[in-house]
């Protein structure tokens, strides 16, 4: 199942810089593992925002929920999920 996921990051302004960097490093490692596994095949930065659009390819709503809730940045994310279906006019 394909999902379009928008993630907006809202780190607290008073979070110590070293704590923020540690969380971001764990986030990067986790997201790159999911990308290598094929569960997170596309990841795009939204220009001018601390946000991204991502495509996830997972087996179920429950799997997506688990992957998202395990993101180290999850407590600081505003997430919007849109399920996707193949378009009949797509050549892919």
Residues 6+ apart with CB under 8 A from 38: 57
- Tokens coding 27: 């986030």
Residues 6+ apart with CB under 8 A from 85: 2
Q: Is 5 helix (H, G, I), strand (E, B) or coil?
A: strand
Q: Find where tokens 């378009």 sit.
A: 87
Residue 85's pLDDT is 95
2-84: CATH number: 3.30.70.1060
How many of the other CB atoms lie within 10 Å of CB of 12? 10
Which has the closest alpha carbon to 56: 71, 78, 73?
Answer: 71
SS3 60: coil
Q: Give the pLDDT confidence score for residue 21 in this predicted structure.
A: 98
92 pLDDT band, cuts 50/70/90, is confident
Could you tell me which of 23, 29, 28 has the C-alpha nearest to residue 11?
23
* Domains of the chain by residue range: 2-84
Task: Express each pLDDT in 26-79 by its tens digit.
Answer: 999 999 999 999 999 999 999 999 999 999 999 999 999 999 999 999 999 999
């Amino acid at each position: 199942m394909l999902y379009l996921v928008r993630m907006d990051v809202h780190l607290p302004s008073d979070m110590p810089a070293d704590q923020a960097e540690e969380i971001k490093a764990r986030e990067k490692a986790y997201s790159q593992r999911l990308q290598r596994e094929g569960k997170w095949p596309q990841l795009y930065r939204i220009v001018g925002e601390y946000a991204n659009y991502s495509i996830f390819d997972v087996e179920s709503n429950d799997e997506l929920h688990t992957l998202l809730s395990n993101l180290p940045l999850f407590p600081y994310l505003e997430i919007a999920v849109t399920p996707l279906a193949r378009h009949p006019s797509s050549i892919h």
